[in-house]
Amino acid sequence: MEAEIFVVCGTHSQGFGRLVRAADLIARKKKYRFFAQTGNTEYRPQFMAFSRFLEPDQMKEKMLAADLIVCHGGAGIIGPALQNRKKTIIVPRRRERGEHTDNHQVELAQAAFRQFHVPFLENENELEAKIEKELESESLPSAGASAITGLVRAFIEKTAPAPKNI
């Protein structure tokens, strides 16, 4: 049976063609079954099913059906993936590539790796090898909702500007 891989780009106004292209090149080999939520990405996949946006219930359905989630570094997908104990690979958006306004996704991906051992990639060319490794792995994330809330809270406290004394 082919593994189901759910690629998630989120809803940010800047596209994430780097991730969609990398996944589409792997999908071309027809080794896995892919579905991508592409958001505002201009690139349109040729070898995998996709939708620009999904309703919350559709997103949850795709996430729960997936054997593996490959996603941007947003808390809105990392949190639910961990809560549902889904194997996940994070490919964070990067400011210097025009994918976001800052590098907070890199920092959140690093924090998820440190706390929950969720792999993340700096280089999308390593995606296929990482997918194979994660699908072969027996381990699943074991993070509860409170741990994820703590991860996000710690990240926000670390990256938010200090309040100004008036």
Please answer whether residues 12 and 52 qualify as being in contact, where contact means their C-beta atoms are separated by less than 8 angstroms. Answer: no
Residue-wise pLDDT tens for the chain (166 aa)?
699 999 999 999 999 999 999 999 999 999 999 999 999 999 999 999 999 999 999 999 999 999 999 999 998 999 899 989 999 999 999 999 889 999 999 999 999 998 889 999 989 999 999 999 999 998 877 665 555 666 666 666 666 666 666 5
Q: Are 72 and 124 in contact (CB under 8 A)?
A: no
Sign of the dihedral through C-alpha 54, 60, 62, 67: positive
User: What's this model's pTM, rounded to 2 decimal places?
Assistant: 0.87
Q: Please name the amino acid found at residue 148.
A: I
Residues 6+ apart with CB under 8 A from 101: 14, 95
In CATH, 4-159 is 3.40.366.10? no
The ranges assigned to domains in the chain are 4-159
